[in-house]
Amino acid sequence: MEFLPIVIAAFVALTIITLVKAFSGAKGGETKAMTQRLNAFKSDADPSFVSKQAPPEESAFKQRSYSGVPIFSRLLTRMKGSEEVALQLERAGIPLRVGEYYMIRWVVAALLFVAPFLLGGFEMMIIVIGGGAGLLGYMIPAQWVNMKRKSRTGRINGQLVDLLGMVANSLKSGYGLMQSFEFASRQLPDPLGMEVRRMLREATLGMSGEQALNLLGQRIDSKDMDMVITAINIQRTVGGNLAEILETVANTMRERERIRGEILTLTSQQTMTGIVIGGLPIFMFAVFMVINPDYMSLLFTTTAGRGIMGAAVVLEVIGYFAIKKVIAIEV
């Protein structure tokens, strides 16, 4: 039986499903937006119409281009989740558009999917292995972006205390809030310095200070930064000494960082225990494969052996996530 036509048909079906998903719901969304815009010109228009519109920060995000090719950019605009992907790329500090990011994912998935066929023909087992490899290849770029995002957010959190100290001292000297941020942005290294400079540029181009700060919080996606922005917004509403407020927030961040260090020290033994217990079966499996491969081959050639292998893998994964859940303490 020829499996190459099956592979080609699977790719065509996947492409059709992707296109259908991309355009699904687009017409309804456009009709709703058109109806809202027309209702604004009616004499009996709902006075609460303005409050139903998208907030300025959201509309500012939607003006971005998702691809250098206009037709692909319009296609990605209609896809649900494109904006979230664009935000994740910004938070990771990766200078890629959404279209380029998806292209990388599909190319890696296609390469890993085709690789087993080049080595072993078109048997059913090769197709299954290729499908698993393709799925893994599609997920690898996403995991890499997630790791970059977490690393960048950690570096930003480490710079926030310095930022608050500089801004608080500038406020005590008589500078305004945005002037204080401008002074701090010249002293801070990237990535936080770059994000603050971008916030100031948006405020200079006509966006209000509150909107620019909210967009800064969305791009960084840090609980510590959210706390800073919330403190600034509350101070603008009810008043108070902003310099003292920022110093209090900075002290809170220092204490949280100290507590995180203590928790990391206390849970390090459990972390090492999980690594040893999780890695020991894999290590012993490799050793026995070298010592007596015929004996270990029963795990792959018999039904009972394959069942034991499957149960072992499932239990390993459950144990890993259980230990990770136990030692994950939020501060």
Look at residue 171 in the predicted model and tell me its pLDDT: 94
Highest mean pLDDT among 139-148, 252-261, 269-278 belongs to: 139-148
Which tokens is 186 given? 């010249």
Q: What is the mean pLDDT of residues 45-49?
A: 41
84 neighbors 149 (Cβ within 8 angstroms): no
User: Measured in whole angstroms, how far is the alpha carbon of residue 60 from the centre of its chain?
Assistant: 20
Radius of gyration (C-alpha) of the chain in whole angstroms:
27
The amino acid at 244: E
DSSP class of residue 53? S
Dihedral of CA atoms 64, 91, 250, 203 in degrees, nearest 10, equals -10
Quick: pLDDT tens for 150-168.
999 999 999 999 999 999 9
Average pLDDT, the chain: 81
Asked if 176 and 232 touch (Cβ cutoff 8 Å), the reply is: no
pLDDT at 35: 54
- Using CA atoms, how far apart are residues 186 and 124, in angstroms rounded to an integer? 60
Angle in degrees, CA 58, 63, 69, rounded to 5:
140
> How do residues 56-77 score in pLDDT, each as one tens digit?
444 444 457 788 788 888 888 8
Q: 183, 196 in Cβ contact below 8 A?
A: no
177-199 residue pLDDT tens: 999 999 999 999 989 999 999 99
Query: Which phi and psi (to 5°) does residue 81 adopt?
Result: 100, -10
Is the pLDDT score of 275 beyond 50? yes
- Per-residue pLDDT tens over the stretch 77-90: 888 888 899 999 99
The residue among 181, 164, 178, 318 whose CA lies nearest residue 250 is 164
